[in-house]
């Protein structure tokens, strides 16, 4: 049983209500790629709130509660300070607001690197307290043992290689990866290691296109590109970037709207009407009967 939406007349908000519809499952996502071919590319966007999930859900196969919420929601300088509690709160909201897409929640920095046992304890907490279908963690071959440990114990894992934002302090910035032969070879070998460990899909971020293609072709599970290639098995973007909520976005982002201008202009109209006392009008006030 999953959910659809009805208007709550008491609050004038759209709330999820039970409906006979099944979510996409992680095995179904994994099966999109057969014999190296994905006939229907996988669509993934980030979501951080219940309402955002409601609006995106029908269009997506996967909703990612990304630790990018550190910058997007909390104004942090990077994703490094994001806590497990933040991810749980937002992950639960996105699960409540969706009914179709499988929800994947990022494991924040410091919650999985120490040991497979640490990773299992925190991943299990994410699944229990949010209701999500899978977790995502960053790192290549070094994390293969952890990925296998989780997968063997019933926790689906999405890998993440190439430009890994949690490692920004080691990488020295957000520049594209894979420009040197050694780095290119490592990216492909990282993808293969995670695939063999049991990852159900792998995000390939900020990688020069030929390497993204090579990594996609080298693995049996689907790849999800972000700054990779259209030949990846799917794509993901940060929704706020795609909607044009920020003045500056990475090269790999395509803006499909200019919501920053829409919001600013609407706020400006509201402010003007408050100041000239034309709002609220008769339509927005309660009159004597």
User: Could you give the C-alpha distances from 237 to 21, 212, 220, 269, in angstroms and in order?
Assistant: 26, 16, 23, 31
The reply, when asked if residue 138 is annotated as ligand binding, is yes
d(CA 171, CA 180): 14
Residue 233 counted as an annotated binding residue:
no
User: Parallel, antiparallel, or unpaired for β 201-205 and 2-8?
Assistant: unpaired
Hey, which residues does 139 pair with through a beta bridge?
160
152 is in an annotated binding site: no
CA distance 68 to 242: 14
What is the spatial distance between Cα 194 and Cα 273, in angstroms, rounded to a whole number?
A: 56
Which of these is catalytic: 40, 85, 152, 205? 205
The answer to the question of whether 68 is labelled as a binding residue is yes
Asked if 205 is an active-site residue, the reply is yes
Distances (CA, A) of 97 to 15, 63, 85, 94: 8, 11, 19, 5
Residue 8 counted as an annotated binding residue: no
In this structure, the chain runs to a length of 289
Catalytic site residues?
205
Binding positions are 67-68, 106, 136, 138
Binding-site residue numbers for 3-methyl-2-oxobutanoate are 67-68, 106, 136
Q: Which residues are annotated as a binding site for Mg(2+)?
A: 67, 106, 138
């Amino acid at each position: 049983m999953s959910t659809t939406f009805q208007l709550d007349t008491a609050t004038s908000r759209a709330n999820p209500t039970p409906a006979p519809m099944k979510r996409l499952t992680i095995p179904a996502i994994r099966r999109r790629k057969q014999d190296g071919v994905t006939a229907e590319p996988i669509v993934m966007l980030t979501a951080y709130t219940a309402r955002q999930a409601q609006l995106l859900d029908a269009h997506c196969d996967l909703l990612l509660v990304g630790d990018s919420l550190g910058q997007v929601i909390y104004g942090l300088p990077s994703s490094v300070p994001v806590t497990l509690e933040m991810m749980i709160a937002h992950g639960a909201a996105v699960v409540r607001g969706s009914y179709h897409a499988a929800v994947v929640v990022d494991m924040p920095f410091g919650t999985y690197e120490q040991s497979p046992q640490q990773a299992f304890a925190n991943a299990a907490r994410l699944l229990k307290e949010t209701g999500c279908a899978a977790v995502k963690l960053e790192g290549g071959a070094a994390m293969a043992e952890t990925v296998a440990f989780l997968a063997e114990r019933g926790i689906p894992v999405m890998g993440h290689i190439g430009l890994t934002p949690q490692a920004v302090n080691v990488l020295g910035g957000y520049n594209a990866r894979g420009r040197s032969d050694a780095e290119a070879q490592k990216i492909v070998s990282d993808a293969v290691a995670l695939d063999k460990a049991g990852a159900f899909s792998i995000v390939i971020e900020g990688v020069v296109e030929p390497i993204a293609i090579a990594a996609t072709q080298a693995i049996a599970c689907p790849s999800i590109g972000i700054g990779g290639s259209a030949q990846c098995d799917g794509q993901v973007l940060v929704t706020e970037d795609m909607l044009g909520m920020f003045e500056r976005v990475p090269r790999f982002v395509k803006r499909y709207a200019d919501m920053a201008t829409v919001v600013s202009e609407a706020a400006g109209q509201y402010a003007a009407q408050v100041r000239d006392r034309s709002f609220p009008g008769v339509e927005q006030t309660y009159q004597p009967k």
